Chains A and B, each alone.
Chain A
Amino acid sequence: MSAITSAANANKRSANNQIHSSRRTLLHRSLAIPVCGALLFTAACGGSSSSPSVKTNPGSNVLAISVNAGPAGNYANGAFASVTVCAPGTSTCQTVNDVLVDTGSSGLRILSSVLTATLPAQKAGDGNPVVECLPFITGYTWGPVQTADIELAGEKAGSVPIQVVSDTAYPVPTDCADFGTSVDTLSSLGANGILGVGSFIQDCGPACVSTGSSNPGLYYECPASGCVVVGEALAQQVANPVASFSADNNGVLIELPAAGSPENSLNGSLIFGIGTQSNNALGTAQVYSVDDYGDFVTTYKSQTYNQSFIDSGSNGLYFLGSGDTGLPVCADADYFYCPSTTQTLSATNSGATGSPSGAVSFSVANADDLFNNNPNATVFGQLAGPNSLGFDWGLPFFYGRNIFTAIQGKSTPGGTGPYWAY
């Protein structure tokens, strides 16, 4: 069976387990948060993606995450969590399940098709709605910017701009479509949304504030006559909600257990704050600085790759190409490696400034075998594929390794962010 069809088949089968894996998430959450009472359980933990709920979870900085097939039933190595959004200043809230936890981006994005809560639209100075085009590698998300109070476990971020992803609310401008293809639906996104908790505060940053040729063209205002690019103030941009918490706001820690062999699901925690509570101390973790682009350095076979990064939102260990590694890609899926036997490799990660350095041992299995031999699995610690210009340490890198992502400009016991530590 091919890697592609087997993955699809496997994931269809996995879809049957969705209810069960959701229950496991709930169970884990209730175990992980002992203060979680009956009211909390139904409100914070029990909402479907469409049921309005009122949620409180005072004090907890631990959000349960689960690696499973996701809401489309076909995800491999995706960490999902529940996110509650409320109309600002109200108790009118909705808990959205199955939102992808992504340290490679910043800001909350929710598919309009699963959002039932009514949130206020952000307006430009002239009253027109603001709509965003955000390019990702696999495609762009398009949709209006709205404002929400965001509740994650016991933490709350007030009045944060989010993106409501929809390719029908406003026509996609040509300049946005020219980025490639849209990932605006459940089937193309594989998640109900993306929770971007990366090292940047805003998704775009200063480049989008200015007008003129240096603006990359991510924010538009959309009068009836058509959408045009606008300058968007930093405070108006879609932003990492963690940075807006009143406490535990300097970064996140992701904890997931090791997964030496494929598993059907894996439960872990997204913990807010670095060195702010007893459960998020840096301990012996090494701090790796990142550059202005959010990258650090990986060295492999004496070659340095300075566009390397750690990203919970990438679903494999992606690095270099067959020409550099000698690893063949799968005959039917050239985005995965298919060595005849599992290969154990070594690389060295270094901070963007050159230090510290730490060796990483990792394994690359035959992706066809992984999918074919484990039809119900969604957790693959040895899933790898090519990435032409460096190392993309995706979710498998998080298995069995506690990884901190510090937010830019925020003070932590390990220094000022941005950085990664593990």
Chain B
Amino acid sequence: MSCLPPVQARRYSSFRSSAKLALRATFLATTLVFIALPAFAGLGEDVSSVQADQAHMQGSLRTTQAQAYTLHEIQAPTGTVVREYVSSSGKVFAVAWQGPWPPDMRQILANYFTPYQQAAQARANLHTGRSPLTISQPGLIVQSGGHMRSFAGRAYIPEMLPQGVSAEAIR
């Protein structure tokens, strides 16, 4: 939670002021999604997909500009936070999550959900026991850990990490 780059924080929108406003804004966002946004959102997708994720999570969005990327942080009403890292070319190259429950992994992993699911299933069936989840494939790294009521993880596309950005910075 304390890992935001200390630069130029801007609050694009906050739906917390009133429930009515939240409903209206969600409706607007949802409408926008249907009109303008791609069906897939999240990892590997265009920056515009962040809004689809925000709408899906019914969350508030805060955007922060760092030197090598733009960080879009979505706070869901469930308490779970999703951070989407967008490169200068406008692509989501990494996502991270943290909160009492995991996010909708299909939503935030987009086209990477199926490989994630298959790797997780293979890992479960290997079964040396319950552990954090580490998936390393060409083009996809997923690291997920925690326990009931406290989940955290990151997923990224190694080839798309901007120069000077380490995997450890994604959290």
Cβ-defined contact, A386 with B100, below 8 A: no
Near B by CB (< 8 A), chain A positions 61-76 give 72, 74-76
Stretch at the interface among A35-43, A49-57, A86-94, A315-323: A315-323
User: What residues of A have a CB within 8 angstroms of the CB of B129 in the complex?
Assistant: 75-78, 190, 314-316
- Assembled-state Cα–Cα distance A106/B147 (Å): 10
CA distance A334 to B78 in the complex (A): 32
A21-29, A117-125, A212-220: which lies at the B interface? A212-220
Contact A307 B146 (CB under 8 A): yes
Please, how many residues of chain B have a CB less than 8 angstroms from a CB on the other chain? Answer: 48
Verify B149–A323 contact, CB threshold 8 A: no
Partner of A318, one of B78, B128, B145: B145
> What is the chain A residue whose CB lies nearest that of B144?
A137
Please give, as numbers and ranges, the residues of chain A lying within 8 Å of B167 by CB-CB distance: 321, 323
Q: Does B106 contact A (CB under 8 A)?
A: yes
In the assembled complex, A196 has its CB within 8 A of some CB on chain B: yes
CA distance A262 to B117 in the complex (A): 32
B40 in the interface (beta carbon within 8 A)? no
CB distance from A420 to the nearest CB of B (A): 13
Q: Which of B6-14, B44-52, B131-139 contacts A (4 or more CB under 8 A)?
A: B131-139
Contact between B120 and A315, CB atoms less than 8 A apart: no
Decide: B131 and A181 in contact? CB cutoff 8 A.
Answer: no
Q: Given the complex of chains A and B, what is the CA–CA distance between A334 and B127 in angstroms?
A: 14
CB distance from B167 to the nearest CB of A (A): 7
For window 89-118 of B, CB contacts with A under 8 Å fall at 98, 100-102, 104-107, 113, 116-117
Question: What residues of chain A lie closer than 8 Å to B39, measured between beta carbons?
Answer: none
Q: Is the interface of B mostly helix, strand, loop or mixed?
A: mixed
Q: Are A180 and B120 in contact (CB under 8 A)?
A: yes
CB distance from B147 to the nearest CB of A (A): 4
Would B124 and A139 count as touching, CB distance under 8 A? yes
Residue B20 at the A interface, CB < 8 A?
no
Question: Which residue of B58, B124, B143 contacts A386 across the interface (Cβ within 8 Å)?
Answer: B143
Provide the bound-state CA to CA distance between A139 and B131, in Å.
11
Asked if A293 meets B150 with Cβ closer than 8 Å, knowing A178-B106, A216-B101, A335-B132, the reply is yes
A389 at the B interface (CB under 8 A): yes
Contacts of B131 in A (CB 8 A): 137-138, 314-316, 318, 335, 385, 392, 394
Q: Indicate if B35 sits at the interface (CB-CB under 8 A).
A: no
Interface size of A in residues (CB-CB distance below 8 Å) = 69
- Residues in A with CB closer than 8 Å to B80 are 216
Chain A residue with the shortest CB-CB distance to B105? A180
B38 at the interface (CB under 8 A from A): no
CB distance from A265 to the nearest CB of B (A): 15
Interface residues of B (CB under 8 A from A): 58, 76-80, 98, 100-102, 104-107, 113, 116-117, 120-121, 123-134, 136, 143-154, 166-168, 171
Q: Which residues of A contact B (CB under 8 A)?
A: 4, 7-8, 11, 72, 74-78, 100, 102, 104-106, 134-139, 175, 177-181, 183, 187-190, 196, 198, 200, 203, 205, 207, 212-216, 218, 293-295, 307, 309, 311, 313-316, 318, 321, 323-324, 329, 334-335, 385-390, 392, 394
**A-B pairs with beta carbons under 8 Å apart, 18 shown:** A100-B130, A105-B147, A134-B148, A135-B151, A137-B146, A138-B131, A139-B121, A178-B104, A180-B105, A181-B121, A190-B129, A207-B101, A214-B77, A216-B78, A295-B150, A318-B145, A334-B134, A392-B145
